Chains A and B, each alone.
Chain A
């Protein structure tokens, strides 16, 4: 897409609003939906990767040190990782705090 989505006119759209640029969903900031933010305590983390498996957004990645951190551009703050992490390395706080 040449223009940002919010500037496209109806004549700019492909037939049937088909998207011809593979993977452009990555431009969409789902992090904007968040009302809660995760706080990650690496001291408690045992690097098991459970959070990585359960995150429905697929936004948790393993760092070079082996920790599992979330990309807040995409993290929707659903809290599933915090619920599943049994050593309780993740806590959820209100976004405005």
Chain B
């Protein structure tokens, strides 16, 4: 089998990526809009096409706990979840990262209840922002597929040994049929070396994981974790370079689209960036100097890349797909503002929150956001941030 480009639902492509990565253990609990991913993997295992243990569990808390155990004995481990499921595994997420267990998880981004919504936004993601996982946002199906493969290599790198979340927008990506390049197994095998955990659970060599740390040592453990996650960026960059050399598609923490001489920049994470590109094209055709920044690497946060990408702009408009209730802006905007605050040369930063609970933003919507952002940069706004598209 050679590299083929096939029309396939992105969730199904993720299952194929897990199979190509030859995962050993998958433990998951089905939840909309993640279901097709785990259903397909369960089927691949049941049909004998993937030699892995599929552990069905009674909750996401147990799913992540089972993944920890599997990863700790040295098994390549994968799971997927969404929305409330991600929240239910919340406390175990911290344990995966602080015990340095390289679990890979795809998150089908979904709004949080109440009111109940199965549709996409980033409120689930933002609630797990500080769990110590490497977090990558995909903008389309191919990016998702490629980054699932990269995720295993990054997570299991001996310099990293951290869990990785690949975020893909629920329905917008999970249920979209896209043409996706699927590489041949032999090439993936060369790209992805076997997983070897340096200190696995082994009855012949007893160790204690996740032990108790009194105040005289806890700070040191957290410093080690912080240093480790920050240093992972180099390995991520290296992995993306290598991936490009292998498969011809290159990724970067921050990607610009038509940013040449742009006075106004729009910054978006996830699948909305594809729609935003159309809006930028139209505005460019109208002679406006606007560009788009896609933020792909969310953790570790790419400070240098962001600062460089926006330095020459006058206005930076950031659209968040999540609210920080009572806070200063959307979460992405807050972080970027704080990353820029001490810079001498920086754009005015304008915050919008929109696309909540699956509300679409069309190319015209993005044009509106950009025009309103420019207006706010000149006249100011009475609000810390504006919610786009809300009926007043």
Contacts and interface: CB of A to CB of B under 8 A. Distances in A.
Contact of B213 (A12, A15, A17, A22): A17
Interface string A1-35: 00001101111111111111010010010000000
B98 A17 contact: yes
Contacts of A10: 220-221, 223-224, 227
A5 B216 contact: yes
A18 B99 CA distance: 8
B217 A6 contact: yes
Given A5-B217, A10-B227, A16 B208 contact: no
Contacts of A25: 208, 211-212
B199 interface: yes
A86 B227 CA distance: 55
B74 to A, nearest CB: 13
Contacts of A18: 99, 199, 207-209
Interface in B192-210: 198-199, 206-210
Q: Please report whether the interface of chain B is mostly helix, strand, loop or mixed according to DSSP.
A: loop
Nearest to A4: B216
Most buried by B among A12, A15, A19, A20: A15
Contacts of B198: 15
Interface residues of B, number: 23
B100 interface: yes
Contact of B199 (A6, A15, A22, A28): A15
B217 A16 contact: no
In this complex, the interface size class of chain A, counting residues with CB under 8 Å from chain B, is 10 to 19
A18 B224 CA distance: 12
Interface string A67-83: 00000000000000000
A11 B199 contact: no
Interface string B133-144: 000000000000
Nearest to B211: A19
Contact of A13 (B208, B210, B220): B220
Contacts of B217: 5-6, 8, 17
Contacts of B223: 10
Most buried by B among A9, A10, A14: A10
A28 B211 CA distance: 13
A13 B100 CA distance: 12
A16 B206 contact: no
B207 A19 contact: yes
A9 B220 contact: yes
A9 B208 CA distance: 19
A6 to B, nearest CB: 4
Contacts of A16: 98-101, 161, 199, 209-210
Interface string B68-79: 000000000000
A20 B100 CA distance: 15
A8 B223 CA distance: 12
A5 B99 CA distance: 18
A14 B98 CA distance: 12
Contacts of A13: 220-221, 224
Max chain A Cβ within 10 angstroms of own Cβ: one of B206, B214, B217: B217
B227 A20 contact: no
A9 B199 CA distance: 20
A11 B127 CA distance: 30
B73 to A, nearest CB: 13
Given A19-B207, A19-B211, A14 B220 contact: no
Interface of A: 5-6, 8-20, 22, 25, 28
Given A10-B227, A16-B99, A25-B212, 15 more contacts: A8-B220, A10-B220, A10-B221, A13-B221, A14-B199, A15-B100, A16-B101, A16-B161, A16-B209, A17-B211, A17-B221, A19-B207, A20-B199, A20-B207, A25-B211
Interface of B: 98-101, 161, 198-199, 206-214, 216-217, 220-221, 223-224, 227
9 contacts: A9-B220, A10-B221, A13-B224, A14-B199, A16-B101, A16-B210, A17-B224, A19-B207, A20-B207
Q: Please provide the 8 A-B residue pairs with the shortest distance between their CB atoms, ordered closest to farther.
A: A16-B100, A19-B208, A10-B223, A10-B220, A6-B216, A16-B99, A10-B224, A22-B206
